[in-house]
Structure 1
Amino acid sequence: MDKNWAYLLSRLAIGLSFFGHGLVRLPKLAGFSNWMLGQFSKSILPDALVIPFSYILPFAEFIAGILIILGLFTRFGLLLAGVVSLALIFGTTLIENWDALPSQLIHVSFLSILLAYLQHNTYAVDKIIKK
């Protein structure tokens, strides 16, 4: 039983992180996009890739966060968050923002653990749907 509660706490923590990242960026999409363009201006990534990614990222974070928090399509939400995290890690290394990398690696570690122990996802909408 404690493993189920531990899973819930970890799922909520990582879900809130993704949800919060998306939530604060959604109202200021254009500003966030311009900020990202500035960050990647000296990288090898062309603006044609950075701009769409900068507009998609907040929605992906927000959606992944909601799914993870609710425990709705939990596996998909965790995988979505993982793909987002991997893209962020790639971008972080391209601009040599080494200070951001540990946080992103911790996120991936949490996501990996949650995926590995998905059988403990007892307190979730997924369990209600399966009944």
Structure 2
Amino acid sequence: MDKNLGYLISRLAIGLSFFGHGLVRLPKLDGLSKWMMGQFEKSILPDALVLPFSYTLPILEFVAGLMILIGLFTRQGLLLAGVTSLALIFGTTMIENWEALPSQLIHVAFLSILLAYLPYNSYAVDKILKK
């Protein structure tokens, strides 16, 4: 029981982080995109990659966060958040924003642990649907 509750608290924490990131960015997509384009101006990444990612990122964060929060398709939500985090880590290294890297690595560590301990995901919509 304690492992299930521990899993729930960890899942809610990482889910809230992704959900919150997406939620606050969705209403200001244009501003986020302009900021991100400016950040990557001198990187080797082409605008053709940065621009669509800048508009897609908040949607990915919001959807992954929501899935993780409610425990619906939890595994897929964790994987979506993980792939999104890997893309962010790649971008962060391309602009040498080393201050942002530890936070992103912590997110990946949490996501990896949650994936490894998925059988403890007892308090989730996934469990209700399996019955």
Question: TM-score category by the smaller chain?
Answer: over 0.9
- Distance (Å, rounded) in 2 between the aligned partners of 1:32 and 1:12: 25
Deviation at 1:123, TM superposition (A): 0.1
Where do residues 70-109 of structure 1 align in structure 2 (5 Å cutoff)? Answer: 70-109=70-109
- Distance (Å, rounded) in 2 between the aligned partners of 1:43 and 1:24: 26
What TM-score do you get using the length of structure 1 for normalisation? 1.00
Any runs of at least 4 consecutive aligned residues in structure 1 with deviations exceeding 6 A, and if so which?
A: none
The one-character-per-residue Cα deviations of 1:55-106 (angstroms, maximum 9, x if unpaired) are 0000000000000000000000000000000000000000000000000000
Match of residue 31 from structure 2: 31
What TM-score do you get using the length of structure 2 for normalisation? 1.00
* Count of residues in Structure 1 that have an aligned counterpart in Structure 2: 131
RMSD of aligned residue pairs (Cα, Å): 0.3
Residue identity in the other structure for 1:128: I
- Give the unaligned 5+ runs of structure 2: none
Residue identity in the other structure for 1:110: F
- Distance (Å, rounded) in 2 between the aligned partners of 1:12 and 1:35: 29
- Give the unaligned 5+ runs of structure 1: none
